[in-house]
Structure 1
Amino acid sequence: MIVSPFTADAVVRSGIARVTLAGELDMDTSRRVRDAVASCLATRPTSLCLDLTGISFCDCAGLNTLLTARITALEAGADFLVEGLGTPVARLLSLIGADTVFAGRQTPTSAGSPHRGTETVTARRDTAAATATSRVRDLLT
């Protein structure tokens, strides 16, 4: 079996941050994801997208890193989106009962987005984001 080296490429364009991950996401590589996410969020993007298309393996440490990235992005006031949610991560989410945590675009609550100006976020999205964040916090503690 050939193991590809892990990569975490971060790009911010026009206020949209994208972190593209490839390889095995585990305890040894989680730091690189946290660094890439922090680097992107330091630019105060309007949204953060994690592209997991290239993830070939994900353990619990990797899953924790992804869940923490989601919470961090939403608390920073950025929309959060995951693309390429493949079998390795989906299986772990299913095992812990968090299948819907990365489903679709997630929007921060209006109170958590000071740099958003007067953008209106519907009550439904506020409730969904708060519920998902609360559920993830419960899973992490």
Structure 2
Amino acid sequence: MRRFLSQSAPSRDKNYKGGIKDYAIKMGEIGKFSKQLKLVDYVAFASDLVSAGATIVEAKPEDRARTTVVETTKLGTGILTGAFTSVLIIGLATGGTGLVVIRVVAISAMVAGKATGDITGWIAGETYDAINDYQSK
């Protein structure tokens, strides 16, 4: 671990305050925070999956295909947004920014992911309706 820390770019930088000791502490804090985010991610994914399944099951038989398309699109977009957010947060975490900034990015990314999922679900529903109307003619 010491060899890794001594070879890491932020710890060798003259501008990094606190040196290797503070850098190791920050990396430990980031590790704890990432474990918490991982747990929240599993709970959020499970609740979204159950919610989408319940919505599909409760849909009227004539609307079930459209509901399946909309809910699947929303769930898929949420997964892709989560993957992008993970890369963004890891990039910020390893860049030496503070944990407060990372938490703000994580929370805003969750909100943005939900909004993105809802928007793409709406677009998928409208597209499904347009294709269905075109095929009906």
| TM-score of the superposed pair, with normalisation by structure 1 | 0.26
- Counting strand residues as a fraction of each chain, which structure ranks higher? 1
Larger RCO (alpha carbons 8 Å, 6+ apart): 2
Rg larger in 1 or in 2?
Answer: 2
